[in-house]
Amino acid sequence: MTSPSNKNLPSLNEIDRLIHEPARLLIMANLYVLEAADFLYLMNQTGLTFGNLSGHMTRLEEAGYIEVEKSFVDKRPNTRLSLTDAGRRAFEEYRKSMRGLLAGGV
């Protein structure tokens, strides 16, 4: 995809595919502008179903991009999510790479 003249630009291989998936990108972007949010809030903002969000949350947590804190609020289970420093850096890196890639006219 990248022509030889574009060899200084980031290649597609450098794009973080874990973040690149639309639903996970949406989760990361939402968490990036916040300090923390709970599961219900993210469901409402992203439009993802419980199962979908739960699956993506697990993958992002395994990658060390988000921190998941489970607790009880008013005797109800509450799952609170926030970006880790690594997640924040990865998201910034992803945006930078994509910008470079798009600027190269891929």
Partner 1 sequence: MSDEIDLEEIERRAMKAYNEDGLLDIFIGGYLIFSGLKAFIQLEHRNILLSILPGLGVLLYNEVKKLVTYPRIGYMKLTKERRARIARDSIIVILIAAFVTFTGLFTGMGSPESAPWGVLLLNKFNLLFQGGVLAFIFFMLGKIMGVNRLYRYSVLSLLVFPAGYLYLDSPYMVTLRNMGTQCAIIGVVMVGYGVLHLRRFIVKYPKEA
Binding site for partner 1 (CB under 8 A): 20, 25, 29-30, 32-45, 73, 76, 78, 80, 94-99, 102
* Closer residue to partner 1 (CB): 9 or 43: 43
Least distance from partner 1 to the Cβ atom of residue 20, Å: 8
Q: How many CB atoms lie within 10 A of CB 4?
A: 5
Contact 104, 6 (CB under 8 A): yes
* Closer residue to partner 1 (CB): 61 or 82: 82
Least distance from partner 1 to the Cβ atom of residue 53, Å: 11
CA distances from 63 to 9, 10, 66, 67 (A): 26, 22, 8, 10
